[in-house]
Amino acid sequence: MDLDLTPDEVAFRDEARDWLARHVPATPLPSMDTEAGFRAHQEWEAQLSQAHWSVVSWPTEFGGRESSLTEWVLFEEEYYRAGAPGRVSQNGIFLLAPIIFEHGTPEQQRRFLPSMGSGERIWAQAWSEPEAGSDLASLSSTATRDEDRGGWVLNGQKTWSSRAAYAHWGFGLFRSDPTAARHAGLTYFLFPLDAAGVTVRPIPQLDGEAGFAELFFDNVFVPDADVLGAPGDGWRVAMSTAGNERGLSLRSPGRFCAAADRLVELHRTSDVGRAEHAGRVADAWIKARAYQLYTWGTVSQLVDGGDIGAAGSVNKVFWSELDVALHETALDLLGPAGEVESGWTDGYLFSLSGPIYAGTNEIQRNIIAERILGLPREPKGERR
């Protein structure tokens, strides 16, 4: 049992650290949820991509370095440590790409991955619907077969679609067989957001910026070439472990350490409330450290050939609550200045979304209780 890196891993980490130190913008980019900020973040992605840092674990033919899992995680850790910009391409590179690698045809891989990795084409997710949130499998947007044109016609509405206000393409599930049971009869589609019949209505988030949008589908044609996996197999494709592991469960081990270190510094230099908040400051740092060590344990398990499974839910509840607590502590330490707009208020507002997105923490606790602790399933209400 150890936390030691090999000489190759150290060299990789140092190369990443060095590049990031020289290239990370000195002043933060404007919010990626504004038009100008979105473009600025795309330019940053292009810069990363040119130096082959945007998707290090991908095959070289798609712009990657074929890095090992450990190296990828080391890069993520350096990325957070350097305070580099948020990844405007993350829906694509973290959530969709693993699924395209696992279920996409070679033609789809060639067509979609390079522009995704370079940040040229930004992807938005289209999962939730007005009546299908936590109960995603009850979704009702439809895909109707169009044999003449060799494809499908999409109708319905998606919502809370992250990045969709400015993104280029979307991915999501539609009901292609209305007679099949809930999870069956769903198909995974890829579609351009400027396709005929797609209407994008941006929704301002708590900070006033359009971080997500509603999508309306009015007879939107999608050719067979843009179906991911087999028709009717969409649920299985969407839930495939790779997407969950890299995108949601496995992130930079140090992703809360930088904020925790800043919180410690804020506490050290604070004039008011030092003694009062000391315990919470220590707790935030300890939890950031626990997250870091836990994540290295997860990496070791995956390297050993294990999978994350329901432990991803344990992880999600922990980090999302830590993120809120950390930022709340900072705002409290700032006293009356806590409401003044700053990196801390931005971080606080962002942290408030954590317990909700990617499966609410209530759903995660159900998963922990049922799949890890083995408690009986709760009787379900009437289905759709």
Residues 19, 118: Cα–Cα separation, whole Å = 17
What angle in degrees, to the nearest 10, is found between the helix axes of 311-333 and 274-303?
160
End-to-end CA distance of the chain: 49
Residues 317-356 contacting another protein, CB under 8 A:
317-318
Q: Is residue 257 a contact point for another protein (CB under 8 A)? A: yes
Q: Is residue 245 a contact point for another protein (CB under 8 A)? A: no
Does residue 368 contact residue 317 with C-beta atoms inside 8 Å?
yes
Residues 253, 82: Cα–Cα separation, whole Å = 14
Q: Is residue 142 a contact point for another protein (CB under 8 A)? A: no
* 140 burial type by CB count under 10 A (0-12 exposed, 13-18 middle, 19+ buried): middle
Instruction: Pick between residue 116 and residue 299 the one whose CB is nearest to another protein.
Output: 299
The alpha carbon torsion through 86, 91, 94, 99 (nearest 10 deg) reads: -170
The type of residue at 4 is D
Q: Is residue 221 a contact point for another protein (CB under 8 A)? A: no
CB of 1 to another protein, least distance (A): 5
**Which H/E stretch holds residue 116?**
helix 106-117
Q: Is 147 tagged catalytic?
A: no
State the number of binding residues for another protein (CB under 8 A). Answer: 61
Residues 260-289 contacting another protein, CB under 8 A:
260-261, 264, 267, 278-279, 281-283, 285-289
In the set 45, 76, 129, 245, the catalytic residue is 245
x/- binding map, residues 67-86, to another protein, per CB under 8 A?
---x------x---x-----
CB of 334 to another protein, least distance (A): 18
Instruction: Pick between residue 36 and residue 303 the one whose CB is nearest to another protein.
Output: 303
Dihedral of CA 174/180/182/184: which sign? negative
CB of 240 to another protein, least distance (A): 24
Contact with another protein (CB under 8 A) among 140, 240, 301, 345:
301
| Whole-Å CA distances, 384 to 137, 159, 283, 320 | 10, 19, 44, 30
**Interface ranges with another protein (CB under 8 A):** 1-6, 9-10, 13, 70, 77, 81, 253-254, 257-258, 260-261, 264, 267, 278-279, 281-283, 285-294, 296-297, 299-301, 303-304, 311, 314, 317-318, 362, 364-366, 368-370, 372-379
**Mind telling me the catalytic residues?**
245
